Chains A and B, each alone.
Chain A
C-alpha cells in the first residue's frame, strides 16, 4: 500500500500502508514476547501400552511477571510419532493453564525426551511464530498384545479357563463329549458339574474328551526369529506385528499360569525367563526398545530349537511367513508355529503401527 500510495501520490494510502507496517512490526514483537518464558510440562504414566488410551495432563506455565500469554498452541510429540495438541487461550502471568487429554500411542517405542512446539498467531493472526522446547520424561510404550489365533484353536488352552465346562461344544476343537474317568486322566480335565451329577447317581467322575486333542502345555519355550529362506520380502510392519504376537502370547500364557522361557534373535538367543508378572513386565519394557535382528541364519534357529528342553512345549513366532522356515522344524505335536499372516482375530486391529 505504501508503494501504491507513493505511485499514485495518495498520502492516505501511504499512511494506511505505514500503519499496516507498524501493526505488522508490533504484532511480530508482541508475538515474540508472547512465546517467551513459558514452560510446558506433561504428566502421564511412565509405561503405556500401544493402542490403549491413557490420561495425559498438559500444563503450560507462564513465568512472566506482568504479561499474560494468549492464544497458544502446544504440540507434544510422543514416542511413535504421536502428536498431542492443545490450545491455551489465556494464561495469566505467573499462572498455568492445564488440560487433561485422552492420549493414544499407536506404536511401541521409548523416549526420554519429547519435542514440544509452542506456536501462536497472537495478536492478529498476521504471523505464526513458534518456539521449540524439549521435555525430559521417560516414557515406555510397550507393544500392543495380539493373541495368536493358534493358541485358541482346536481346543487349545480351553481347559485352562475356569468356565470351560459351560461351553456349548458345537464348534471344532471344543469338548466333544464326556466320559467316565480313567486312570491317567488329568484332574484338570474333570468336568465337575457333570461329575457332581454322576456321583449323585452313584457313578464315577466324568472327564471331558476333546476331538482332536489340543495344545495344553505345562511350560512353554517361545522362540522368536527373523529367519527366512528364499526371497521373501522384508516388511517392517510384520516385525511390529510379530512383536505384538509375541507379547500377546506371553500375556495369554501368563494369564493361564504357564511359565515361559523366551529365546529371540534380537536378544542374541539369550534365554529370558518369564515366570512371574514382574518378569513379564520387564520383558515388555525391553520389547519396547528392541530392533529387528538382521543376521539370523538357519543354523541359529536350528540350534535354538535343539536347545529347548523336551519338557517344554515350543511356540515359534517369526515376522516371516511359516513357509520359509517351517521346513526346519521336526514334526512334533509339541511345537506350535505361529503364522504372521493372521488378521482380525479377537482384536480390533492387528495392524500394529511402526514406531
Chain B
C-alpha cells in the first residue's frame, strides 16, 4: 500500500511539473511537486516503524529544536524546488540530445543536424526542423506551450511595404515539404548545389504575379543544432546571401556563421502570393510532377470522401474556398491533442478529435487539395508578428511559428493556401506595437541569443524575468540556510553540558539529597557509592547520629524515585530544613 502511495506521489509530482492548460507558474508547480514527493516518501518511510520499546531523550524538546528542524526541512525542500524549476529545460535538452543521437546515428552529407525532433510547433523555436533524412513527423499527441522568445526580425525598406504587409497575412517561410506517407512529411533530397551571391530563385511559372516586390532584411540567430535554413518572405525572388546550399527544391541552407556571437543578417526580395488575393482571378491548376498529388494509401479513401464534399463546386476557386471554410468551421484549433485511440494523427484530426494545430490543418488541406487534383505541399515558418511602425520592423516570436499549405497554380507558382482558423492563437495575424514602444535591436537580439537558452517547454521560467526569479530564489535559499545555521548554533550554546563527557547524563540529584550527602560528609560519615539511602540511615543510627525524620525522608525519596509520587517542592524544602537542623544538632554533639 505504501509503495502504491509512493508511486501515486511520483505520478502526481510528474503531472505537476508537466503542467496543464492554464496551469500556475513553474515555481509554484515545483513547490507543489516537491511537497508531493516528500509527502509520499514520508508516508513510505512511516510504514516501517517498529513496535520496539522506545528510548526517550533525557532532555525534552524545546521550541528551538522544532524551529531548527523545521528550518532544515524547509531549506532542503527549497533546494529541490530550485533544482526542479531550473534544471527542467537542461534535462529536456539532455533527453532530446540522447534521443536524437540514438535515433539518427548516421550523418548524411555536410548538413548534419544535431537534432531531429520532429516538432516544429513553436515551443521548440524552430530549433529542430527536420531530421537528416529531411523528414518530419506529424506528432500523434501534442501539448505545445510556445514561448515569447523573439526569433526572427524583418526590416522593411520603406513604410509602404510595411503597411502593405501589415494589412495582409504574412508568411515567412523557412522550408517546405512535399512527400507525405501518412505520418511523416519529407522533402526529396537533391544533389547539394552551392549558390553564390546574388542568388536568384527559379520562377518559371510566375508570369501572372504582378504584385510589387518587397525588399526586406532578415535577422535571426544561428540555430544551435546547425540547421540554419534560409528564411524569406513567401515568394522569394532573390537574395544577397553570400553563399547558399540547396539540398531540396524548397530547402536552402545557410553557411555557418564565422563568429558565434553574431547572428544572420541578409536582404532579399519577395513577391508573396496568397490564394485569398486570387479569388477573383479564376486561377487554374498548374501542371506538375505526381509527387505533389500523391495521397498515402491508408488515408486515400477517407480523404477522397472528404474531397467529394467540394467536388460539386463549379470552379477551383470555389472548391478551395469551400474547403477552407469547411476546415475552419468544423474543426477547432488547439495546441493540445490527446489522441486517446492512438490512431493516425491525420485521421484523429479529421474524424475523431476534430481539433489540432496549424500542422494538422495544413496537412489535411494539402491532402484534400491533392484529392481535388490541386498540387500541394506543406510549408513551415512564421506568420503574424509585431510591427514597430517607426522602424518598419516586424518581430516574430516563437509562438508565431506556423505551418500552412501551398498550392501550385498556373502562372502563380506556389501560392499560400492557409486554412488554419484566423485568430490570435491559431494563425496569428500581424499586430502593431504600441506607439513609442522600443523594438529590440535585431543585431543585438540575434547576437545575444544564448543558444543554450532554448525554451524547450513551459518548464522554463519566463525569459524576461528568469534571472530576477532565480536571484530571488538564491536569496531565499541563502536566508533559509542562514536561519538553519543560526538555530543550530543557538542550540549548541543553549544546550546544557552533559554530566561527564562520554557517560550518559542522568537525572540531576535533588537538592535535599545533596544537602544530606554534604551533611554526612562533614559529619565524617560520607555516603559511599552503592549504599542506598535506607542503608546509610541505618548506618547513621548505629553510629549514634539518628535521623528523627528518617521515615519521612525515606517515604518521599523512594516514593518519588521508585513510586508514583510527584515531586513536591515544599516537601523538599522542608526536608532540606530538617537535614540542616539535624546537621546542626549532630555537629554540636
List residues of chain A with CB under 8 Å of any chain B CB. Answer: 5-16, 18-19, 22-23, 26, 39, 41, 58-61, 63, 65-68, 73-74, 85-99, 101, 121, 123-126
- The size class of the interface chain B forms with chain A is 35 or more
Chain A residues with CB under 8 A of B89: 11
Given contacts A15-B88, A19-B80, A126-B45, 5 further A-B contacts (CB under 8 A): A15-B17, A15-B84, A23-B41, A92-B59, A124-B42
Chain B residues with CB under 8 A of A85: 52-53
B566 close to A (CB within 8 Å): no
Whose C-beta in chain B lies nearest to the C-beta of A1?
A: B10
Chain A residues with CB under 8 A of B497: 94
B203 close to A (CB within 8 Å): no
Complex CA–CA separation, A91 to B488 (angstroms): 15
Complex CA–CA separation, A99 to B52 (angstroms): 11
Q: Which of B49-70 contact A (CB under 8 A)?
A: 50, 52-59, 61, 65, 69
Chain A residues with CB under 8 A of B502: 39, 61, 63
Complex CA–CA separation, A245 to B55 (angstroms): 38
Chain B residues with CB under 8 A of A13: 14, 95
Chain B residues with CB under 8 A of A41: 503-504
Whose C-beta in chain A lies nearest to the C-beta of B34?
A: A19
A98 touches B17 (CB 8 A): no
Chain B residues with CB under 8 A of A93: 491-492, 495
Complex CA–CA separation, A130 to B49 (angstroms): 16
Chain A residues with CB under 8 A of B95: 5-6, 8-11, 13-14
Chain A residues with CB under 8 A of B87: 15, 18
Whose C-beta in chain B lies nearest to the C-beta of A123?
A: B45
B457 close to A (CB within 8 Å): yes
A92 touches B91 (CB 8 A): no
A99 touches B56 (CB 8 A): yes
Chain B residues with CB under 8 A of A63: 501-502
Whose C-beta in chain A lies nearest to the C-beta of B59?
A: A95
- Residue in contact with B504 in the complex, picked from A18, A22, A26, A98, CB distance below 8 Å: A98
Chain A residues with CB under 8 A of B76: 26
Shortest distance between the CB of A178 and any CB in chain B (Å): 45
Chain A residues with CB under 8 A of B527: none
Chain B residues with CB under 8 A of A90: 57, 61
28 A-B pairs, CB-CB below 8 angstroms?
A5-B91, A6-B99, A7-B99, A8-B99, A13-B14, A14-B95, A15-B87, A15-B88, A22-B80, A23-B41, A23-B80, A59-B504, A61-B503, A61-B504, A63-B501, A63-B502, A68-B65, A68-B69, A73-B50, A86-B53, A87-B55, A92-B57, A94-B495, A94-B497, A95-B505, A98-B55, A99-B54, A99-B56
B422 close to A (CB within 8 Å): no
Interface centre among B37, B52, B89, B505 (most CB of A within 10 A): B52
Whose C-beta in chain A lies nearest to the C-beta of B52?
A: A87
B94 touches A14 (CB 8 A): yes
B54 touches A87 (CB 8 A): yes
B93 close to A (CB within 8 Å): yes
